[in-house]
Amino acid sequence: MADKKATGKNAENYYGAESITVLEGLEPVRKRPGMYIGSTSATGLHHLIWEVVDNGIDEAMAGHANLIRVTLLDNGMVEVYDNGRGIPVGMHKVTKVSALETVLTKLHAGGKFGDGGGYKVSGGLHGVGVSVVNALSEYLKAEVHREGKIWMQEYERGKPLKKVKPIGNSKKTGTIITFKPDSQILEETEFNWGTILDRLRQQAYLTKGITIEIADQRKNHRPKNYKFYFEGGIKAYIKSLNRNNQVKNETIFYIDKEVNDTRVEVALQYNDAFNETVLAFANNIINAEGGTHVIGFRTALTRTLNSYARGQNLIKEKDENLTGEDVREGLTAIISVKLTNPQFEGQTKGKLGNADVKTYVEQIFGDALATFLQENPREAEAIIAKCFLSAQARIAARTARASILRKGALEGMTLPGKLADCSSRKPEESELYIVEGDSAGGSAKQGRNRKFQAILPLRGKILNVERARLDKMLANNEIKNLVIALGANIDEQFDLGKLRYHRIIIMTDADVDGAHIRTLLLTLFYRHFNALVTNGNLYIAQPPLYQVKKGTTIKYAYDEEEKNKIIKEWGGASAGSAQAEVVETEGEEEISEENQTEEEAEAIKTKAAVRINIQRYKGLGEMNPQQLWDTTMNPETRMMRQVNVDDAAIANETFEMLMGSDVAPRKHFIQTHAKKVKNLDI
Ligand code: 0RA
C-alpha cells in the first residue's frame, strides 16, 4: 500500500510544538480506569493488549512494520513486540524529557500525539495510547530499537524508575512493551487465550501482509504457538467464513483501492444458504451497527447486479428488478475502509458516520464488481442464478399471500372446532375470549354466559409472526383458527365491518409464559389487525391475584394492596399481628384437620371467627368455572383493560427485540430484565 508517512520530514519534525495538543499526567487514568478502558473486568484487561498491538498495527498500516508478536510470559506478564519504527527517543520539545518517556507517562488528548496524518487504529474508537497501559500496570518495561541503539525505561504504576538509557546496540527498529496488569485496579488479571487468538486473527485478516505471532508460555497452561499471516487479507477471511458452505462463485470478488485518502477494501462470495453475513470495519474497528460504508455497498450491489443481468438479457425489459433482499440472500461480504478521521455514531459508537465514505464505497465497489462480472462470466452467472432463486421464493410467497387474501377466502369458512361460539349473532354484544391453554379454556367454556361469550383456547405459544410470511403464518392452525373466528380477513383485506365480536379479550396466566403469549398476541393484532386495535376492540382480562376467604365469605384481590385492605377490614393485619390468624397458601392447599397439632386445632377453634385464608392464584387453571365467571368474565364485576395503540406498539417493539434476528439486543434485554421477569412469577 501507499506509504502514508513518507513525508520527507525527519522523525524529530513530528515533534514540533504545532503537533502537540494537551499533555497531562496519568492520575486520572488510575482514578477512573473505566473511562479509558471501558471496564476493569476481563474486557478491560484485554483492552490493554489491544492498545499496544493497535500501535503496532498502525506502524504496519503506515508501511513500517510487518511483524507483531504477543507472548504470555511465565511470570504473569505479557510482552508485545513490533518491528515498526520504534517509539521516538529524542528530547521532546514540550516536556524536555525523552519522547519515549513522554509517550509512556503523559495522556495526550487528540489522538496519537506527534504523529502526522495516516490511518490509525489506535486513534480510533478505543485509542487511548500506551500511557494508559502504563498507568494500569504495576510494572512496565519499554525497549526501543532505534537509531542504532536499544533504549530502555521501566515504570511502576506509570512512574519511571530511572531515565531512558541505551542498554546496547541494534541495527533494527522496533518496540517491545512488557507489562504486568495492576491487580489493585483490575478485577481480572488472567488473560484468556481464546479471546486473544480471535482478536489477533481478525486483525491479521484486516491488515494485509502482516504476520502476527502469539505464544502461551504461562505456567499451568499448555504451551501454544500460533502464527497468522493471510496473503489474501479479507479475501482469506471470506474463504474462512464460507468454509462450511457450498459456494456459488468459486472466485472470490476482491477490490482494494484508494481515493481522496480513503482506502476501500471489499471482498464477497455467495453461498447456497439464506442468511446474509456482512462484516464492516473502519480502521480495523468492527462496525456492528453498520454505517455509511454499508449503505454505499448495498446500493452498489443491487444496482450493479441488476444492470449486469439486464445487459445480459437475463432480466427482460418488462420484468422486475432484483430487490435488495434478493441480492443479499446467501451473501458473505467484508467491507473494510481506512480513513484519517473516522466518525463513530450510535448507541455503542459502532456505526460509521462519515458521509463521503458512502460515495467512495459505492463508486469503487460498484465499478470493480461490474468489471468482475464482465471478466468472470461463469461466476457472474452463478451469482445471478442465486439471486433469481431468492427472487422466485419472494414472488412465490407474494402469490401465496394474494390467494390467501383473495376476497372472501378466509371469510365464511367453517368455524374452527375448538371455538365454543356464542349463540348471539349480534357483534355489538358478542365477546371472544382468547384463552391460554386447553384447561383454562375448559373452565372458561363452562363458566361463561354462552349467549354472548365465545371461547377460543390457544394451545402453547403461537407462531413467531416476526419472521414468518403470511402463507406460513396461516399454515399455523392456532392463527388460522383465530382469523376465521374473527371473520374479517387479515392485513390489507381486514374489514372491521365483518368482525364477529366487538370485544376481543386476551386471557392469559399471570406468569412469564402468560406474559410472553400476551406479547405475541398483541403483536399479531398490532401488525395484522391494526384497525381493530385502533378502534378499541381489544382487551386484556384481569384475573385476580388472590382469593381472600373468611368463613364462607370470599373476596378477590387484584393486587397486593387490595389484599391487605381486605385483611384489615376483616380484623386481620399484615404480617406480625396477633389479632387474627392469616393463613397464606398457594393453589388449593389448606391446612387439613389431620395435619393439625393440638395447639393449632385449639388456636383455630378460638380464633375461628377471624381466621382468614389467602390463596394466591398462579394460573387461570386454578380457578373453577364459577370462580372464573365471578372474577374475570362477569361483565358486572370483572376488570378489563382496553388495549390502546401505544400498548400494542410497545409490545411490538419488545417483540421485535425478543424475536427478531438481531441476537445481541435480545441477549442484552434478557440479561437486564431477567430479574424483573422473575418478579412477575412470584
Ligand atoms: C509516536 C510516534 C511514532 C511512533 C510511535 C509513537 C509508536 C508507538 C508504539 C507503541 C508500540 N509500538 C509503537 N511503535 C511506534 C512515529 C515515529 C516516527 O515518526 O519515527
Q: What is the mean pLDDT of each run of 10 residues along the chain (682 residues)?
A: 36 41 83 92 95 94 95 96 96 87 80 55 60 97 98 98 97 98 96 94 95 96 95 94 92 96 96 88 91 98 98 93 94 96 85 97 98 97 95 83 71 85 97 92 95 92 60 80 92 91 93 83 88 93 90 88 89 51 48 47 51 86 90 92 80 61 46 35 23
Ligand 1 neighbourhood includes 87 CB (under 6 angstroms): yes
Q: Could you tell me the distance, in angstroms and rounded to a whole number, from the CA of residue 82 to the centre of ligand 1?
A: 10
What pLDDT shows up at residue 292?
A: 98
The CATH code of domain 234-401 reads 3.30.230.10
Q: DSSP 3-state assignment of 159?
A: strand
pLDDT at 120: 72
Q: Architecture of 407-543+641-676 per CATH?
A: 3-Layer(aba) Sandwich (3.40)
Any atom of ligand 1 within 6 Å of the Cβ of 82: yes
Burial class (CB in 10 A: 0-12, 13-18, 19+), 327: buried
Residue 103 beta carbon below 6 angstroms from any ligand 1 atom? yes
Whether 85 is in the pocket of ligand 1, judged by its Cβ within 6 Å, is yes
**Ligand 1 atom 8 nearest Cα:** 87
Q: Are 490 and 529 in contact (CB under 8 A)?
A: yes
Nearest CA to ligand 1 atom 18: 11
Predicted confidence at residue 662, as pLDDT, reads: 46
Q: What is the DSSP string of 390-450?
A: HHHHHHHHHHHHHHHHSTTTTSSPPPPTT-B--S---GGG-EEEEEESHHHHHHHHHHS-T
| Per annotation, catalytic residue among 154, 429, 466, 511 | 511
User: Is 104 close to ligand 1, i.e. is its CB under 6 Å away?
Assistant: no
Distance CA 485, CA 471 (A): 18
- Domain positions in the chain are 27-228, 234-401, 407-543+641-676
Q: Give the active site residue among 258, 478, 491, 513.
A: 513
User: Which residues make Cβ contacts (< 8 Å) with residue 602, sequence separation at least 6?
Assistant: none
Specify the pLDDT at position 111.
42
Q: Respond yes or no: is residue 256 known to be catalytic.
A: no
Q: Return the pLDDT at 584.
A: 56
Distance 97 CA to ligand 1 centre (A): 16
Angle between helical axes of 234-241 and 193-206 (0-180°, round to 10): 130
How distant, in Å, are the alpha carbons of 211, 482, 487, 603, 635 from that of 453? 73, 15, 16, 46, 11
How far does the centroid of ligand 1 lie from the alpha carbon of residue 110, in Å?
A: 16
Dihedral (C-alpha) 599, 605, 607, 612: value to the nearest 10 degrees? 100
CATH code that applies to domain 27-228: 3.30.565.10
Three-class SS state of 242: coil
Q: Does ligand 1 lie within 6 Å of residue 84's CB atom?
A: yes
Compute, in angstroms, the gap from residue 87 CA to the centroid of ligand 1: 4
Q: Is 513 a catalytic residue?
A: yes
CA 178 to centroid of ligand 1, rounded, Å: 16
Compute the distance between CA of residue 528 and CA of residue 533 in angstroms, rounded to an integer: 10
Pocket test for ligand 1, best of 87, 95, 104, 210 (most atoms within 8 A of CB): 87
Q: Cα dist. 446→459, 545, 632 in Å? A: 18, 21, 13
Contact 400, 295 (CB under 8 A): no
Task: Give the Å distance between the CA of 340 and the centre of ligand 1.
Answer: 17
Closest ligand 1 atom, residue 114 Cα:
2
Amino acid, res. 339: L
The total number of residues shown for the chain amounts to 682
Give Cα separations from 569 to 258, 550, 566, 572, 582 (angstroms).
Answer: 81, 11, 5, 7, 13
For residue 349, the model assigns a pLDDT of 79
C-beta of 59 in contact with ligand 1 (< 6 A): yes
pLDDT at res. 645? 78
Single-letter amino acid code for the residue at 607:
K
Mutate to test the pocket of ligand 1, among 54, 115, 140, 147 (most ligand atoms within 8 A of CB): 115
CA distance 161 to 155: 5
- Centre of ligand 1 to C-alpha 208, Å, is 20
Known catalytic residue: 509?
A: yes
List of residues 6+ apart from 323 with CB closer than 8 A: 302, 391, 394
Residues 513, 678: contact at Cβ < 8 Å? no
Q: How far apart are CA 278 and CA 290, in angstroms?
A: 9
Cα–Cα distance between 327 and 298 in angstroms, integer? 9
pTM of the model: 0.64
Which of 55, 113, 178 best tests ligand 1's pocket when mutated (most atoms within 8 Å of CB)? Answer: 55
